[in-house]
Structure 1
């Protein structure tokens, strides 16, 4: 009995390790990436995490695929910006800066109640098309009603001119980052606790079988509506934090690209895991910032990553890691660890070759002078000659070929042999 109790306690500790490790890591990161750009990027990651967690309340928990979730993020940001500008006009008197995100959350909730009152009446494709139409409507409105949205230039504010509850100087990017971390932690705790409430369980039931949920006495439309409104509230909170971090908001905040990015991040991370959207949002934020500086094909890489996840790993990156961990824990890696590492290395080689092919293609078909030499993986190459293409295709074919036609059958034979030996 004592052994079982100790094992249960250890299991609970392991289950809650992210709540300790992630906040500690968030506190340490500004000491490592201490440049202005690095700290701003960390702040954007925190905002993206809240946004992705709110989106997962729809997609992962309730089964609602939305193409317009940026509406509530952007509208929350616009309302928060107007409040910040009012504080600025009042000479720094009024709502403290730390509470500006609450304004964004209230705005997100308000618009979530309005738009959710009719959009959640149907699920599936109908709901997705309604959210797509709402997203297009709000985005076009942001360019038409310049008094509220500020037109194409958007709206500007000054966070430094706003008062602080604790006397903090938010002229420092580091202090602003810690404010984002604090709100991200609060939002993550509330969203996690919501998953454990009867509402969270019924959202899962409505996602899996709405007819059965209705049979036991719950109205699927009401459950969807409440989840939709709460998800919009947290999206508005993220929008309010964005206003504080960047001190600007424009039509891009309510646009389809913003809705697409949160969908990508949430799904790539893994909608079946609470930590999945966090990982996906952080990864997509880093890639969006970094890849665009190195290659014109960064949007294509996003698309390929998303397609690969949908086709080969619908559980997301966190799901892949979790599945492999369970396999390792069950002894599935015993005797074949080397083969698995070999397949991983071969796959990385194949991806390297594929990236070279893509970069050659982009330079050849999109540059003004395809014959002009350009840098590729540390080498200066000419896309109009055959050698770079042959080498790139060769690396890709060898890498993927070794993984699929040598490593995979070898792993299958080893697992089969181990299984037969265990049965014997």
Structure 2
């Protein structure tokens, strides 16, 4: 899954190196400002701030996971443990240590320290292993923590979780951190700070050593590096930032739930990171946004959102093993090499094929869910169609599927012609 990160000194690309950071800052700042400007009260919409806060926490979570998977080649199935335990520790400290309100913006430090402690314990057990062995060890540790969450209700809070009141305390310069917009300012700022910190770490010489351990641990050991120590250091770093991400989610919803340490959350960050691409720093950022789009946007209109996530993940792994970021880089290179006119046929055909296939899939899935769940599903109207309309719907699904297959064939031919043109140029 992990690939070597390409490096270049091309001066033409230099002006574009800040573009992803500008886009990330704009994503976090522009929508709330526009929402406040359009609102009669001058306040951003609460649902928008909640979604952006979820995206910010997921971005930090995915970037922390990429320190393991992308930089060190460690596939972890228990990355939710440091995130959930970090949030839980932060909630317990906030509630029982009676932290004053001005220290709320520094609460992610507590989660980060707790996450690092979990990472130390994980490293003591799993750092000597890699590959499948490491994945199975982290899977067992993750399930152990998930079981403990229900076995120790006094610490984990049981089904209710551990709640906090972020507005408990006197106002500071008019800020109580109770309104969602004030909490979102903390989360967005921490997202940017943590992203910059992870970026700096990923460019450090020690992470280049982690790349060497990922690619060839035997040779790295022959050069004097200890693969176990390198893996341990990266596990601790990744777990610390996972604890920060978990605390950001805690500040957003004011609850550290027992489900936050489960396998579902670990699978979510794995899907987000691989979907975005592990070879690019901003690949996990893109994957995190895609995951939030599915888990919030699609889930709000269809109970089949997990099915769509699984299918999308399979398509990405098969069609673009280097993730969406790698796919975008390859398409940009094709544009530079062949020009817009030669790429237009392939892109247009592929876009229509994807659109027809997606529409056919959505219609079929929503129809099946409507027949299965009836009025409990948002697409229940599909089950109430007349026999004539039902036949038309089935015919539309078949036609769209055939069109998608035909257009996919055309897109493959267009891609093959571009490859032949590239070989001729070489």
Q: Same fold (TM over 0.5)?
A: yes
Please tell me whether residue 243 in structure 1 is matched to residue 250 in structure 2: yes
Return the offset for 1:331: 2.4
Equivalent pair of 2:276/2:284 in contact (CA under 8 Å): yes
Per the alignment, residue 408 of structure 1 pairs with 412
Cα distance in 2 between the residues matched to 1:120 and 1:328: 43
* Alignment counterpart, residue 158 of structure 2, candidates 151, 164, 179: 151
Distance 1:263 1:246 in 2: 22
Instruction: Describe the shift of the 1:407–1:147 C-alpha distance in structure 2 as closer, same or farther (beyond 3 A).
Output: closer
| Secondary structure in structure 1 of the residue aligned to 2:381 | strand
Shift of 1:85: 1.0
Q: Partner of 1:67: helix, strand, or coil? A: coil
Contiguous gaps of at least 5 residues in structure 2:
1-8, 36-43
Structure 1 unaligned regions, length at least 5: 1-6
Aligned residues: 409
1:97 touches 1:164 (CA, 8 Å); kept in 2?
A: no
Aligned equivalent of 2:373, options 367, 376, 380: 367
Residues 273 and 319 in structure 1, CA contact (< 8 A), matched pair in contact too: yes
Select the residue among 12, 31, 34 that pairs with 1:32: 34
- Aligned equivalents of 1:383 and 1:177: distance in 2? 50
Measured at CA, do residues 198 and 418 of structure 1 come closer, stay the same or move farther in structure 2, by a change above 3 Å? closer
CA–CA separation in structure 2 for the residues paired with 1:182 and 1:295:
32
Tell me by how many angstroms 1:295 deviates. 1.3
Aligned to 2:80: 70
- Corresponding residue for residue 20 of structure 2: 18
The 1:8–1:391 alpha-carbon spacing in structure 2 relative to 1, beyond 3 Å, is: closer
1:22-421 map, 5 Å: 22-33=24-35, 34-86=44-96, 90=98, 93=100, 96-162=103-169, 168-331=175-338, 333-364=340-371, 366-367=372-373, 374-375=380-381, 385-404=390-409, 406-413=410-417, 416=420, 420=424
TM-superposed deviation, 1:369: 8.4
Report SS of the residue matched to 1:226: helix
Alpha-carbon separation, structure 1, partners of 2:228 and 2:214: 11
Alpha carbons of structure 1 residues 64 and 402: separation in structure 2 relative to 1, 3 Å: same
Residue deviations 1:181-223 (CA, integer Å, cap 9, x gap): 1111111111111112121101111111111111111010100
Structure 1 residues 140 and 415, CA gap change in structure 2 (3 angstroms): closer
SS at match of 2:218: helix
Q: Distance in 2 between matches of 1:322 and 1:44?
A: 27
- Equivalent residue number for residue 3 of structure 1: none
Report the Cα distance in structure 1 between the residues aligned to 2:69 and 2:208, rounded to whole angstroms.
14
CA distance in 2, matches of 1:10, 1:164: 50
1:399/1:376 CA distance change after superposition, 3 Å: farther
Q: Could you tell me whether the CA contact under 8 Å between 1:73 and 1:239 is conserved in 2?
A: yes
SS at match of 1:206: helix
* Structure 1 residues 142 and 95: alpha-carbon distance in aligned structure 2, compared to 1, 3 A threshold: farther
TM-score by length of 1: 0.89
Tell me if structure 2 keeps the 8 A contact 1:383–1:389.
no
Distance change in 2, residues 1:124/1:339 (3 Å): closer
RMSD of aligned alpha carbons = 2.6
Matched-pair contact (CA < 8 Å) for 2:65–2:273: yes
Q: Offset at 1:172?
A: 2.0
Task: Go from structure 1 to structure 2 and tell me whether the alpha carbon gap of 1:99 and 1:339 turns closer, same or farther (over 3 Å shift).
Answer: closer
Deviations, residues 277-299 of structure 1 (Å, cap 9, x unaligned): 11111121121012112112111
